[in-house]
Amino acid sequence: MDYFGQVKAAADAVRARVGDFPSTAIILGSGLGDFASSLGTPTPIPYTELPNWPIPRVAGHDGRLVVGTANGRRVAALAGRCHLYEGYDGLTVTFPVRVLGLLGVRRLILTNAAGGVNTALSAGTLMVIDDHINLMGENPLAGANDDRFGVRFPDMSEVYSAKLRALADATSGTTGVPVAHGVYAALLGPSYETPAEIRYLRAIGASAVGMSTVPEALVARHMRIEVLGISCITNMAAGVLAAPLDHAEVMETARRVRGQFVALLEGIIAQLG
């Protein structure tokens, strides 16, 4: 079975479990998977029960798809993602996004835990992604193009929807959850960046740094899906503070801001229509 066939098989399996699929989906980053548990009338599907679906192997990524309601609107939440640094290739990492596209998703909210590069940011800040810098050394669109997914040379002048970013700002105002804006730099990982690398990232205009999101955003735009990106700044990057970096700190900060994160997402979803 070719790649398109594998994606379609997974999409058919999801549709058989949940029927009509929501037009909005969310991919939840490290420590942010609790949002999936907040959905009303949930239908959870472990990734292990879906054909060809890649399984995350990192703490903080549960590995389940949940379809339910938030503020009365149906939404799909993916609690957990795979990463290139786990040894997966670009096609595998972005497999869930391809499935979402075949299921009819038209808006995708990508969330992640990120390190703060801009010293004006602090741990716990929610940052709306305005643009990204891909330093992962890989693009999931490389290789033979399947026109059933999208065109050979997709435009990337507006990866992150201006309309959805404005909606996030409006939701921030109504919910009282503050948001910042910035540019997300994606590196391969799994090691955290060196202080010299962080100085380089700051010099080229990055506000935050992480190890995910960009491959998913590229594939989503290839499939003409609108994208909103939100980073939870869970720690300050190397060299900003004297303390060493620790994944436990990432998880703890994500837990601390859970209430604000859920309120912001629910507010955005309520306005999507």
Of residues 37, 138, 145, 247, which has the active-site annotation? 247
Pairing mode of beta strands 180-187, 126-135:
parallel
* Helix (H) / strand (E) containing 228: strand 226-236
What are 40's strand-pairing partners?
69
Q: Are 45 and 14 in contact (CB under 8 A)?
A: yes
Give the pLDDT score at 50: 97
Instruction: Judge whether 247 counts as a catalytic residue.
Output: yes
Give the pLDDT band of residue 8 (cuts 50, 70, 90): very high
Give the pLDDT score at 253: 77
Instruction: Judge whether 249 counts as a catalytic residue.
Output: no
Say which CATH number the domain at 151 has.
3.40.50.1580
Instruction: Judge whether 222 counts as a catalytic residue.
Output: no
Instruction: Judge whether 181 counts as a catalytic residue.
Output: no
Helices (H), 69-134: 90-93, 95-102
Q: Are 76 and 65 in contact (CB under 8 A)?
A: yes
Instruction: Judge whether 61 counts as a catalytic residue.
Output: yes
Backbone angles phi, psi at 135, to 5 degrees: -115, 25
Cα 138 from Cα 134, distance rounded (Å): 8
Could you list the residue range(s) of the whole structural domain that residue 118 is in? 3-272
Q: Helix (H, G, I), strand (E, B), or coil: what is residue 226? A: strand
Instruction: Judge whether 235 counts as a catalytic residue.
Output: yes
Of residues 112, 118, 207, 235, which has the active-site annotation? 235
Of residues 160, 212, 220, 237, which has the active-site annotation? 212
Q: Are 200 and 177 in contact (CB under 8 A)?
A: no
Per-residue model confidence as pLDDT tens digits over 69-86: 998 899 999 999 999 999
Mean pLDDT of the chain: 92
The three-point CA angle 217-84-62 to 5° equals 80
Q: Is the pLDDT of residue 55 over 70?
A: yes
Instruction: Judge whether 138 counts as a catalytic residue.
Output: no
Cα 77 from Cα 36, distance rounded (Å): 6
Instruction: Judge whether 132 counts as a catalytic residue.
Output: no
Of residues 10, 11, 77, 113, which has the active-site annotation? 113
Give the pLDDT score at 60: 54
The three-point CA angle 38-115-254 to 5° equals 20
Per-residue model confidence as pLDDT tens digits over 164-216: 999 999 999 999 999 999 999 999 999 999 999 999 999 999 999 999 999 99
Per-residue model confidence as pLDDT tens digits over 225-247: 999 999 999 887 665 655 666 66
Instruction: Judge whether 86 counts as a catalytic residue.
Output: yes
Give the pLDDT score at 252: 79
Question: Which whole number is the average pLDDT over 131-147?
Answer: 97
Least Cα distance to 265 among 82, 47, 38 occurs for 38
Q: Are 184 and 207 in contact (CB under 8 A)?
A: yes
Cα distance from N-terminal residue to C-terminal residue, the chain: 37
Count of domains observed in the chain: 1
